[in-house]
Structure 1
């Protein structure tokens, strides 16, 4: 009986490792701005959720409508944050978007909030976020994070530094 239990555990561990490797390959395959900009907004949210999962977070996509300004909830030990995804082709994320998101961070008592976009942020949006628990990640920075994760950084160690989590 103990051998059967050990075999099942071993099989489950192998399956989880295989699934993680497949997720990592998919992140790498789609990890360029052209591919990300072609995704639907919902697919982009799931992609970002998988990215944070690959970094060792518990990541959960919220319902598509009426999400209260939070697309993804992430947890890691005692850390809780929310993510707003903006899959933009040409549009920039503006100060009102950041202000609304800051209210969502406060409402759900998150430690931090991330606005992740395939585009850019306006100067006013960047200025507003200074000194607040908001991390702005534009398309270029997002690609650097994806490269860190898919090129073998251990459980997102470099990405944690980029995201200012440690």
Structure 2
């Protein structure tokens, strides 16, 4: 594109001939000349800079992934020395190598969905990355991602962490098309010892039942405490943002 734009704009960078009978044509021609004259250098430079930045980012993603792949002989934590942003880049490259088209978001650290995946079946999958080591990923993270997944009509979702998940988070993900990937599973998958695949599309969402508060879909849940402990009810998938409920 840089080469094409250069030669195209270079062909336009011709000073117009002054025609006393048509001064506006001279003004238009002069503007075209100056735009083409400088644009033939600026636009290719922008395209080349973008290409170089893309190549450098790709090289960095591949290096991060290869560091984990080739570090199987040591017992050290392969994620300890990288930042949260580098962890997202590593996870994105991991899914690229699995055949997904990856779109990275720019919402900042720990801000919502980090990656959008498109599989070979053209279905969309959401990814949230958690570069956590001090604490386990709790159930509310998985629950909120599930709500976003339903709202965006995604086929599935992944929560990928460098650490671990709580038992409550794993229980909530059971039976849903959400894959929890802890640090151990991620390393094993990168090194080829385990195969990571998206879960089949299974949903416990009652799509015919809508939340009386926000009109979102509702999911079947079981009360864990209080006078109704053990009883099932429908709760909004946007919990805890929305606390709408209905009797099962």
Pairwise same-fold verdict (TM > 0.5): yes
Partner of 1:54 in structure 2?
97
CA deviations 1:119-154 (Å, max 9, x no partner) are 111011100111111100111100111001xx9xxx
Larger displacement relative to structure 2 (60-69 or 98-107): 60-69
Match status 1:43 vs 2:86: yes
Structure 2 residue ranges without an equivalent (≥5):
1-57, 201-248
Higher helix share: 1
CA deviations 1:4-37 (Å, max 9, x no partner) are xxxxxxxxxxxxxxxx899655412134672323
TM-score, L = length of structure 2: 0.50
Q: Contact 2:110 / 2:129 at 8 angstroms: preserved in 1?
A: no
- Change in Cα spacing, 1:22 to 1:115, as seen in structure 2 (3 Å) is closer
Structure 1 residue ranges without an equivalent (≥5):
1-19, 152-157
TM-score, L = length of structure 1: 0.72
Equivalent-residue separation in structure 1 for 2:84 and 2:63 (angstroms): 21
Partner of 2:118 in structure 1?
75
Runs (4+) off by over 4 Å? 20-26
Q: Contact 2:95 / 2:102 at 8 angstroms: preserved in 1?
A: yes
Partner of 2:182 in structure 1?
138
Equivalent-residue separation in structure 1 for 2:198 and 2:85 (angstroms): 26
Larger displacement relative to structure 2 (88-97 or 27-36): 27-36
Partner of 1:163 in structure 2?
197
SS in 2 for 1:143: helix
Partner of 2:153 in structure 1?
109
- After TM superposition, the structure 1 = structure 2 runs for residues 78-97 of structure 1, keeping only pairs within 5 Å, are 78-97=122-141
Equivalent-residue separation in structure 2 for 1:104 and 1:111 (angstroms): 11
Q: How many residues align?
A: 138
Larger gyration radius, structure 1 or structure 2: 2
CA deviations 1:52-84 (Å, max 9, x no partner) are 111111111111339862100011232210100
Specify which structure has the bigger relative contact order, considering alpha-carbon pairs within 8 angstroms and separated by 6 or more residues.
1
Equivalent-residue separation in structure 1 for 2:63 and 2:88 (angstroms): 17
